[in-house]
């Protein structure tokens, strides 16, 4: 279905951007070519709004939509607005029950609760570069005091496999979760995903379901790849992510997203 997509959803880290924060000139040019051809390019990321906006700016995306916080936040980019964007949809959850259960299993875990449009409240400082926006240290009671869009747990001494085991043991039924490449756990409101937010965006844009495409590499991209008419997994993605996709492209090391972006150019 080369060239048929009118809405292209793109994960950021590990898909558009290398793990050291680089977007290649070729990827930048391919994204711009899609925009100029009238394709809706939507960043769909686990990043907060504060962490997504600089990426959109770097790519030259000043008008359109972004899906942030793994689908809990939808924002509209508009250069005529004072801040260049507006948040149009937010879903929150009570982080208390899940955090108390997880903290009992991982008492030394780093915990960060997203503050919409600002950054994070955290129980301690995370490794440099892992969180975007303003970081303020807070007590556990302060972390669970208000509804949240997204919560991050980071255990420097654990493995992703151990995180999966802990999540299964605790039984997180009221929230959605995704385990990252490292011992990193994202919690979002139950039933919320990049896919659910993208469906909202698709309907608002009036794009037909068959005219959607998505590219991603993480476990938080699985639903998005199934949602898209053409779901493409990056070559370095883990097997469950690859299995959710219609096809697999190259890895982040060889700019695997580039071939997909070029194939989506309207013919």
* pLDDT averages per 10-residue partition of the chain, 267 residues: 82 94 97 97 95 96 97 97 95 94 91 93 91 92 95 86 83 78 84 97 98 96 98 96 98 97 91
- Please indicate, yes or no, whether the overall pTM of this predicted structure exceeds 0.85: yes
Write down the domain spans for the chain: 7-90+192-263, 96-189
**For 7-90+192-263, which CATH class?**
alpha beta
In the prediction, which pLDDT does 171 show? 83
Residue 185, pLDDT score: 87
pLDDT, position 132: 85
Fold of 96-189: 3.30.1240
pLDDT of residue 217: 96
Predicted confidence at residue 1, as pLDDT, reads 43
Given the DSSP bridges, would you call strands 73-77 and 247-248 parallel, antiparallel or unpaired? Answer: unpaired
Task: Tell me the longest C-alpha to C-alpha distance in the chain.
Answer: 56
pLDDT value for 128: 86
Cα dist. 27→21, 49, 83, 92, 114 in Å?
13, 22, 26, 33, 29
């Amino acid at each position: 279905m080369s060239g048929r997509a009118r809405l292209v959803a793109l994960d950021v880290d590990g898909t558009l951007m290398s793990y050291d924060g680089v977007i290649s000139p070729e990827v930048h040019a391919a994204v711009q070519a899609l925009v100029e051809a009238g394709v809706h390019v939507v960043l769909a990321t686990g990043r907060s709004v504060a962490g997504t906006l600089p990426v959109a700016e770097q790519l030259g995306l000043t008008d359109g939509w972004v899906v942030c916080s793994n689908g809990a936040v939808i924002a509209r980019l508009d250069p005529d607005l004072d801040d260049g964007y507006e948040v149009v949809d937010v879903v929150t959850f009570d982080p208390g029950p899940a955090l108390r259960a997880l903290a009992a299993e991982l008492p030394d875990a780093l915990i960060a609760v997203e503050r919409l449009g600002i950054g994070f409240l955290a129980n301690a400082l995370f490794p440099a570069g892992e969180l975007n926006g303003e970081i303020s240290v807070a007590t556990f009671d302060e972390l669970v005091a208000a509804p949240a869009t997204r919560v991050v747990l980071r255990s420097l001494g654990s493995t992703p496999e151990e995180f999966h085991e802990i999540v299964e043991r605790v039984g997180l039924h009221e929230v959605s979760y995704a385990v990252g490449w490292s011992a990193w756990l994202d919690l979002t409101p139950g039933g919320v995903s990049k896919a659910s937010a993208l469906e909202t965006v698709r309907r608002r844009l009036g794009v037909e379901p068959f005219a959607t495409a998505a590219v991603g590499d993480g476990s938080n991209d699985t639903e998005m790849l199934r949602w898209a008419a053409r779901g493409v997994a990056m070559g370095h993605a883990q097997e469950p992510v690859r299995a959710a996709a219609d096809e697999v492209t190259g890895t982040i090391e060889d700019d695997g997203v580039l071939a997909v972006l070029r194939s989506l150019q309207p013919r």
